[in-house]
A and B are shown apart, each in its own frame.
Chain A
Amino acid sequence: MTAIEVLSGQLRERIAGNRTGARPAIWKRFLLSIAVPAGAFLLWQAAVSFGLSSGRLVPPPSRIIAALWQLAGNGELYRHVASTCLRVLFGFLAGAAAGVVVGTLTGFFTTARALVDPSLQALRAIPSIAWVPLFILWFGIFETSKVMLIATGVFFPVYLGLSTALLSVDRKIVEVGRIFRLSGLELARRILFPAVLPALIVALRAGLGLGWMFVVAAEFMGASEGLGYLLVDGQQLGKPDQIVAAIIIFAIIGKLSDGLIVSISAPLVAWQDNYKKGGT
């Protein structure tokens, strides 16, 4: 056996070792993350199965799974999920874009901040549901009003996060840009935006979370499809299993979409010197 063969064999073993070493960590994290809901479900299922509760208003997991299975079987589930996801996607894109533009302007320009920030801070305190009647009057009952409501929800955390982050960029690194005589635009592109990127990602995650909350309010506005519609339908027809099923789907999609932002943005902020990597 040549030296190269021995070395390549050792390398293969190390790579294989690393792979098998990584797997238990991922599985362990996954199992830990579902331990609490799975435990709660099992306990509740046992309580209903042993007759300790009727499970009429709070259905056991078996009935929720049956409801989901039925909805999935006739294709209803996909239609409702797709409809909600599209509304959140468009609302998120519109709200995040507006938040980035206004947040950038107020972060850079004192006059812009003095002009619009007090009003936006006041508007931020308005509950989502308060906008519903106004948005129906302005944008009608169909998709525009729903997307606008979601965009409103997404806008505020993105605006606030970016604007605040821009104002708190360390003067010392801005001076590095000044010493190298960067123009205003170059300073923004090469120093300010990279510096605020971690804060912007957190703001986008917060905005997306609010987007999922606002979509429920939006789908209460006379929607004929969507997970919010399933909630209203379940309440009107007395189907708590459908309501809980819709809530669980919201939780799963919300977590997946947040995970997507984290995964996409992770390489962009890998430079951060964090105390602990891996927390999402």
Chain B
Amino acid sequence: MAERSDLPPEMAQQEPLPSGPGAAAILSAALFVFVLGFLTFLAAAAEGAKEWLNFQNRVGPLSGKTTMAGVVWVTSWPLLHFAWRRREIPLTPILVLAAALILAGGLLMFPPIFERVEP
């Protein structure tokens, strides 16, 4: 961060903002990716899960996968935001965790991986 003396006066007077809300946005987005990948893998492996995720017939299990991942996202984001809104959360471990979640989710929704577990 720049020294506050480097900032234009109008900005130097404003309070710095903690990293918590940014970390919350990043981590909850990463959670969405992971949950979507996980549900994709689960639907491929278990016929029961695939049927349960069929929220809308015309769209099929994709409707349930994206809806449930979306529920996790819109739930976790405000929870994390309010928990961390005044806190300076170390970004590096959050970014590492987010990267791991996104990588795992991305792999789980990659067809050569999830199609291996199809019955």
Is B truly associated with A?
no
Could you tell me which B residues sit within 8 Å of A by CB distance? none
